[in-house]
Amino acid sequence: MKILRFIIYVLIILMATPFLLVHYGPPGVATTSKVALHALVGYGGDEPDADLVRQQLHVADGFRLNLYASGLGKIRFLRTTEAGDILLSRPRTGDVLMLTRDANQDGFPDDVRVLLSGLTRPHGMDILDGWLYIAESNAVGKIGFNVESGEVNGDYIRIIEGLGDKGNHWTKTLRAGPDGWMYLSSGSTCNVCEEDDPQRATIMRFKPDGSELSVYATGLRNSVGMDWAPWSNELFATDNGRDLLGDDFPPCELNNIVAGGFYGWPYINASTPDPDFGAKLPSDATANRPPTFEFNAHNAPLGITFLEHSKRAGFDRSALVALHGSWNRSIPDGYKVVVLDWQTDGTVTERDFVTGFLQGGKLLGRPVDVAEASDGSIYISDDYSGSVYRVDVADDSQSSVSLPNPVPQLVASVDVLGAYNSAELRSVSAQGKQLYDQFNCFSCHEQKIGKPLINLHESYNVASLADFFSAPTPPMPAFPLNADEREALAVYLFDHELNNNQK
């Protein structure tokens, strides 16, 4: 049986390899291969080079961009506090970082520290009535949070448990609505399929105490970003369209989310029937609600925030959206932050805000989330290089891009194996090596097909790496390992890495 499973895993890898070659051939083979590795197996890029940032990044007229912090690992969503601190989720390491406020006014956070750890792939966050709410991949929890001191207090309490997080799109995004409800998005398990779990491919909502959880809107393949238009309190959400239908179809979407709304997936893409599932649309299905705005196909719009404190004219009815960038187009597209402007007739137009993350074959980063602070400053997270950028209104004497040095970085602890004595470490690591050899892991990771197994301690600890093995990013297969085996494999990889570093 093990031999059969092994053959299946090898076939999956072999099938993935030509897929990558087809989609990432000329032009720009090197760049698009990096994008593919980042999208499929989590491979990230180097910390931003100061000269490259100055050369590549461009911000809209009237604004000034700074590299605010780097070396933060696989960061995802961010939330600003009224006191000026920034919270950052790191699903792969199971923690939430805090970039403390820039009290000394040097243009950088005064400190970078772990606010909360031991979570299960945290992603979306929000603050309401003295509580910090966190959407884990399988639960929602909350903990007392003092905004002024930037400290958590009391115990972390899971108020909703048992959320599905298998398959693709396991991240959950959480926002507190102006109506007093909490809103929670949950992406699909697949590229295109009919879901067995009625909570997947939806936006849900619940009371702040965790009660009355219900599905609010359906047919949303992967709505990662949510926010409310301040002039109307309407909820809008980004949505990532399905893959493998060519470079230019289907479009990614911005949807006006209403109670009971159905937004098409998997049967309809925007307003066009899906070639695989269009004929399967149930006869009693709710009428499809077409998108408010269509992004280019595969741009992968993620975080969205409506501007409420901008000091520049022309942003009164505007939102910023982070376009993570395509991984399955022959010519990459996206990789920027755009402005969406609501016109008086209700239509929406798009213009660039920050561009240049992918330029001339050089990939600098992939924007994930955008947040606005109460002073009007704007923060952008990048999970490719582990960086946060800050955008402020500029005066005529300031250049558009500034990079004073040094940029604060998170120093990762290398003592990831401190919980094991020498005998335990030898035993557990030996078991992990047997698993590494049994499943032929070296055929990918040491042949440069999969992510290089270096500097793991910068992004994981033993628990979070073992958790990653339970639901890895495709095309890496989920090997049939129990909890002890996943731990052993993680220990072996850290032990092997540390031994190599000491040679």
Tokens of residue 181, six digits: 């409800």
Q: Tell me the average pLDDT across 310-320.
A: 91
- Claim to verify: residue 15 and residue 96 sit in the same structural domain: no
pLDDT tens-digit series, residues 121-148? 999 999 999 999 999 999 999 999 999 9
pLDDT tens-digit series, residues 55-110? 899 999 999 999 999 989 999 999 999 999 999 999 999 999 999 999 988 888 99
Tokens of residue 244, six digits: 């493998």
Total domain count, the chain: 2
More confident residue, 180 or 3: 180
Q: Which of 206-220, 358-372, 404-418 has the highest mean pLDDT?
A: 206-220
**What distance in Å separates the CA atoms of residue 32 and residue 44, rounded to the nearest whole number?**
13
Last residue of a domain, one of 321, 348, 374: 321
Cα dihedral angle (309, 310, 315, 321), rounded to 10 degrees?
Answer: -80
- Claim to verify: residue 207 and residue 149 sit in the same structural domain: yes
The confidence score (pLDDT) of residue 260 equals: 97
- Residue 390 within a domain: no
- Residue 330 within a domain: no
Q: Tell me the average pLDDT across 397-413.
A: 58
- Claim to verify: residue 308 and residue 427 sit in the same structural domain: no
pLDDT tens-digit series, residues 323-378? 999 988 888 999 999 999 999 898 999 999 999 999 877 899 999 999 999 999 99
- Residue 126's Cβ-count burial label (10 Å; 0-12, 13-18, 19+) is buried
Average pLDDT of the residues of the chain: 85
Say which residues have a Cβ less than 8 Å from residue 30's Cβ, sequence separation at least 6. Answer: 361
- Residue 404 within a domain: no
Look at residue 391 and tell me whether its pLDDT is greater than 70: yes
- Claim to verify: residue 85 and residue 175 sit in the same structural domain: yes
Band of pLDDT at residue 44, cut at 50, 70 and 90: low
- Claim to verify: residue 90 and residue 35 sit in the same structural domain: no
Last residue of a domain, one of 321, 347, 367: 321
Cα dihedral angle (185, 188, 192, 194), rounded to 10 degrees?
Answer: -100
Which residue segment(s) compose the domain that 447 sits in? Answer: 2-43+413-501
- Residue 384 within a domain: no
- Residue 59 within a domain: no
Order of strands, edge to edge, in the sheet holding 131-135?
A: 125-128, 131-135, 139-146, 151-161
User: What CATH number is associated with residue 303?
Assistant: 2.120.10.30
Last residue of a domain, one of 253, 286, 321: 321
